[in-house]
């Protein structure tokens, strides 16, 4: 296997036997494959191609799938070492992707397939999600103190050490790295576990980040940060006992979607502008590990381990209808790369997800059905 090598299509089409929804299994290889994390779009080249990571030939590499022909192109050829494509991010202004390999943040030109190192993580720190600013000028990410020498840590395979990390208050930084020449700036730091630095798709200076840890124990989950003036603030301030999280930017780049639970145990789903105006929040029935939407009108969730279905909710007349079952994904959620992580395509016509229903993690694309066509 080598960079630029093209493989014949692996895809095939089937329908869910319960709902009749049409599904494309995009990959079919005896190794785990997965799409990018649900907050990061993997569509590029005008939506004609899709990025995915795959553990082929006993190593992890990045691949591209042509959504017109099904052909797969190998984009990297990395030695059997630590590479992470779950946290990769695309530049919204040019065909370039950024990912972690060993201790380096690497830029890959998706046209020439040439790579260049942008940033080296300081010793003693661990890495997290990457995101690119709306103008394409910077990769933003969070790093945090590596505490694996103090207690057992394996966050990608069962959240081992998750609560211990929160309790330890590791030193964390939000880093801004120039995509052209790699100059680096620490724009924010504190002694609290920071994760999920997500850039606004519209405002290049605005990011969200979270205080990681058990939702009922963190001081506050969703935070905003202005890279122009260094100001940090709580997004969707919570009352005592409320929990809100799994935040993501809606497609407009103005509003942040989230879900949570009030102190009385009732669930809710909502969105709010990053400056805490235009809050919309409604009662919500049904559970999932992860949700996604392009706006607040249609929500997709993964159902969770005990209800392994892709689910839809529709906001209509001031209330959420659903959940309604789209398909049985049969995912096990064993490790992060096998989390279902559903997300809508940019045009909302399809739902992308990962599942190990065949025994191996594979990447799937389902048609977004008409909500009223699904059984109540």
pLDDT digits (tens, 9 = 90+) for 163-206: 999 999 999 999 999 999 999 999 999 999 999 999 999 999 99
Nearest Cα neighbor of 172 from 218, 117, 134 is 218
Copy the structure tokens of residue 130.
């990457």
Cβ contacts of 317-321, under 8 Å, gap ≥ 24: 318/282, 319/282, 319/283, 320/269, 320/282, 320/283, 320/284, 320/285, 321/371
What pLDDT score was predicted for residue 267?
96
Written as six digits, the tokens of 271 are 């969105």
| Residue 24 near residue 67 (C-beta atoms within 8 A) | no
In 202-334, alpha helices (H): none
**CA–CA dist 125, 142 (Å, integer):** 10
Question: Which residues of the chain register pLDDT less than 70?
Answer: 81-82
Task: Tell me the CA distances in angstroms from 283 to 237, 247, 268, 320, 322, one per residue in order.
Answer: 18, 17, 4, 7, 11
Quote the pLDDT of residue 325. 97
For residue 323, whether the previous peptide bond is cis, meaning omega lies within 30 degrees of 0, is yes
Burial class (CB in 10 A: 0-12, 13-18, 19+), 35: buried
Amino acid 239: pLDDT: 86
- 62 CB-near residues (< 8 Å, 6+ apart): 51, 52, 53, 75, 76, 85, 88, 97, 99, 108
pTM: 0.95
Q: Return the pLDDT at 294.
A: 98
| pLDDT tens-digit series, residues 242-278 | 999 999 999 999 999 999 999 999 999 999 999 999 9
Look at residue 81 in the predicted model and tell me its pLDDT: 66
Which tokens is 365 given?
A: 């694309």
């Amino acid at each position: 296997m080598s960079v630029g090598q093209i493989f014949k299509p692996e895809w095939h089409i089937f329908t869910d036997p319960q709902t009749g929804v049409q599904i494309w299994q995009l990959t079919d290889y005896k190794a785990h494959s997965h799409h990018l994390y649900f907050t990061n779009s993997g569509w590029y080249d005008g939506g004609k191609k899709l990025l995915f990571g795959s553990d082929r030939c006993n190593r992890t590499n990045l691949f591209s799938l042509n959504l017109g022909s099904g052909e797969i192109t190998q984009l990297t050829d990395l030695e059997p070492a630590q590479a992470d494509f779950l946290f990769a991010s695309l530049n919204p202004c040019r065909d370039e992707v950024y990912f972690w390999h060993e201790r380096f943040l690497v830029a890959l030109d998706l046209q020439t397939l040439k790579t260049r190192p942008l940033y080296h993580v300081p010793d003693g720190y661990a890495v997290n999600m990457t995101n690119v600013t709306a103008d394409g000028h910077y990769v933003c990410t969070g790093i945090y103190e590596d505490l694996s020498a103090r207690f057992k840590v394996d966050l990608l395979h069962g959240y081992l050490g998750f609560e211990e990390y929160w309790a330890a208050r590791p030193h964390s930084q939000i880093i801004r790295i120039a995509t052209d020449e790699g100059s680096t700036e620490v724009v924010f730091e504190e002694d609290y576990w920071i994760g999920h630095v997500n850039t606004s798709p519209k405002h290049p200076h605005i990011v969200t980040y979270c205080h990681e840890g058990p939702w009922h124990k963190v001081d506050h989950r969703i935070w905003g940060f202005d890279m122009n003036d260094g100001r940090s603030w709580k997004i969707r301030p919570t009352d005592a006992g409320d929990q809100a999280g799994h935040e993501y930017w809606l497609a407009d780049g103005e509003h942040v979607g989230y879900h949570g639970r009030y102190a009385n145990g009732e669930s809710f789903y909502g969105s709010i502008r990053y400056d805490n105006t235009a809050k919309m929040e409604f009662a919500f029935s049904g559970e999932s590990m992860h949700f996604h939407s392009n706006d607040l009108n249609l929500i997709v969730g993964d159902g969770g381990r005990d209800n392994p279905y892709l689910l839809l909710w529709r906001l209509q007349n001031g209330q959420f209808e659903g959940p309604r079952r789209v398909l049985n994904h049969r995912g096990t959620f064993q490790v992060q790369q096998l989390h279902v992580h559903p997300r809508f395509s940019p045009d909302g016509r399809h739902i992308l997800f990962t599942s190990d229903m065949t025994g191996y993690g594979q990447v799937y694309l389902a048609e977004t059905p008409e909500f009223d066509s699904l059984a109540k």
